[in-house]
With several copies, the nearest count.
Chain A
């Protein structure tokens, strides 16, 4: 499988060879970590080392880090865990939850569930047109019964980085739990949980070259959550289930690499982003970039591209089938009755047409500088094919919906 055309690192990343080797190595130390005999010692050592690597990446202490089966479980755990730790079946005042409209489905769907089943009140805050949620808007949305606020650190579609520090400050003294979905940030930008000040922070190994199905949750010391998965006392009683030892060790190896290469990668991806912007603007002059104008507020590996008048779905199909290039879309025609349009882009104020014309480009560890030219050439070619198909149609026809 060639990797030259892979421009979808935000969807997932290739597993690095360090992570694969670590899995193979750790799988040989097969004893159950809960067992009491000497055979367990190497297993314990493996787990400790992995935990330390993750703590370094997240910026926390080892007793604050819990392993899970991925970002989605971590997000579920944080929100349900806060809500259910103080839940009493008696009918009382309903709890109020604040989230951003930019969140990933693993937050949105949990909140929808809490709303449906437990009749929580929910506020969904729209970002500004650059994809940023301000601390002021969180402050304005607070109610006396607000129990949880959940705002992501970096958005997966446009790469906008949220002012987590400021929001933490707003919530800190109000006894409101602040959860942060860090899945698109941890391993990609500098993250220091203690400095950022949230109560819980989720991450996922497959976004930083670890295997899929492994992640974790930072829980600030002193904060308690009802477990999502009750069981045999693993993870200090907070997350049941025999530890996914080899997976965790594999993720640990990826985390170690991510820590080591973070600065270098940030610089490299900023360069790529710059090249992408320049070459695309030159080859497809109508192109528009969604997201923060201030590039320090955007994860440098992520670029959201809108080419007005072009249906991104068709563009992506051509890139995939003619050039072996992978990108993500802001919309999908999911069935005969509905067209699903990115809730992220809509919340930023893009029109339906703009959303349909948007694709997400995300680079990563294995992207080479020459791949950028290959990519932008392919986009220019695909745009010309699409223009050839749509040009003959009279203008007013094209623009009517």
Chain B
């Protein structure tokens, strides 16, 4: 069963969209279950103006994409890079054991985003 955060995000995925203008793209796949998330970003002057995603996967991973976009849109890249592991851990709420690999995906999304800027 899903917690409220997950339910809200997969049943009303506010950031599910394709950006016409994007500066960066992050892609992620889970080899075990085949889940995929693709996030498009529009970043100007270190500010994430827009984040949108597409995904194919389980409900939790669909929610994960939306949670990620919602978190980072309107934030500065610097702030995002400063997020601690603990803060990210909390973003999806309480998860059942079988849902934990979505948290891994979320961490990976943040890691990829950080890589984009430290590269």
Is the beta-carbon distance between B56 and A335 smaller than 8 angstroms?
no
Residue from A311, A322, A393 in contact with B58 in the complex, judged by beta carbons closer than 8 Å? A311
A314-B52 contact in complex given A321-B2, A333-B33, A398-B36, C-beta closer than 8 Å: no
Closest residue of A by beta carbon distance from B4: A321
Contacts of A116 in B (CB 8 A): none
Is the beta-carbon distance between A392 and B52 smaller than 8 angstroms?
yes
Contacts of B100 in A (CB 8 A): 335-336
Is the beta-carbon distance between B57 and A40 smaller than 8 angstroms?
no
Contacts of B18 in A (CB 8 A): 391-392
Residue from B1, B11, B52, B57 in contact with A36 in the complex, judged by beta carbons closer than 8 Å? B1
Is the beta-carbon distance between B54 and A391 smaller than 8 angstroms?
yes
Rounded to whole angstroms, the CA-CA distance of A37 and B54 in the bound complex is 25
Residue from A37, A311, A321 in contact with B11 in the complex, judged by beta carbons closer than 8 Å? A321
Is the beta-carbon distance between A389 and B55 smaller than 8 angstroms?
yes
Rounded to whole angstroms, the CA-CA distance of A41 and B13 in the bound complex is 25
Does A337 sit within 8 A of B, measured CB to CB?
A: yes
Does A338 sit within 8 A of B, measured CB to CB?
A: yes
Closest beta carbon of chain B to A255's beta carbon, Å: 27
Is the beta-carbon distance between B58 and A392 smaller than 8 angstroms?
no
Interface centre among A38, A313, A337, A338 (most CB of B within 10 A): A313
Rounded to whole angstroms, the CA-CA distance of A309 and B59 in the bound complex is 14
Closest beta carbon of chain A to B51's beta carbon, Å: 13
A333-B98 contact in complex given A41-B1, A314-B57, A397-B27, C-beta closer than 8 Å: yes
A397-B2 contact in complex given A333-B58, A392-B54, C-beta closer than 8 Å: no
Does A88 sit within 8 A of B, measured CB to CB?
A: no
Rounded to whole angstroms, the CA-CA distance of A66 and B116 in the bound complex is 51
Closest beta carbon of chain B to A345's beta carbon, Å: 16
Residue from B55, B58, B101 in contact with A390 in the complex, judged by beta carbons closer than 8 Å? B55
Does B47 sit within 8 A of A, measured CB to CB?
A: no
Task: Provide a sorted-by-A list of 18 A–B residue pairs whose CB atoms are within 8 angstroms.
Answer: A40-B1, A311-B58, A314-B10, A314-B57, A314-B62, A321-B10, A334-B98, A335-B100, A337-B32, A338-B32, A339-B34, A356-B34, A388-B13, A392-B38, A392-B53, A393-B55, A393-B56, A397-B36
Contacts of B53 in A (CB 8 A): 389, 392
Interface residues of B (CB under 8 A from A): 1-2, 7, 10-11, 13, 16-18, 27, 29, 32-34, 36, 38, 52-59, 62, 65, 97-101, 104
Rounded to whole angstroms, the CA-CA distance of A389 and B58 in the bound complex is 12
Is the beta-carbon distance between A332 and B98 smaller than 8 angstroms?
yes
Does A317 sit within 8 A of B, measured CB to CB?
A: yes
Interface string of A276-317 (1 = CB under 8 A from B): 000000000000000000000000000000000101011011
Does A133 sit within 8 A of B, measured CB to CB?
A: no
How big is the A interface, by class? 35 or more
Interface residues of A (CB under 8 A from B): 36-38, 40-41, 309, 311, 313-314, 316-318, 321-322, 332-339, 352-353, 356, 385-386, 388-394, 397-398, 400-401
Interface centre among B11, B18, B97 (most CB of A within 10 A): B11
Rounded to whole angstroms, the CA-CA distance of A316 and B32 in the bound complex is 20
Is the beta-carbon distance between A322 and B54 smaller than 8 angstroms?
no
Rounded to whole angstroms, the CA-CA distance of A311 and B52 in the bound complex is 20
Is the beta-carbon distance between B1 and A389 smaller than 8 angstroms?
no
Closest beta carbon of chain A to B15's beta carbon, Å: 9
Is the beta-carbon distance between B54 and A318 smaller than 8 angstroms?
no
Closest residue of A by beta carbon distance from B32: A339
Is the beta-carbon distance between A392 and B17 smaller than 8 angstroms?
yes
Is the beta-carbon distance between A397 and B38 smaller than 8 angstroms?
yes
Contacts of B7 in A (CB 8 A): 317, 321
Contacts of A317 in B (CB 8 A): 2, 7, 10-11, 58-59
Is the beta-carbon distance between A401 and B52 smaller than 8 angstroms?
no
Closest residue of B by beta carbon distance from A399: B56
Closest beta carbon of chain B to A108's beta carbon, Å: 21
Rounded to whole angstroms, the CA-CA distance of A171 and B100 in the bound complex is 42
Is the beta-carbon distance between A398 and B56 smaller than 8 angstroms?
yes
Closest beta carbon of chain B to A157's beta carbon, Å: 19
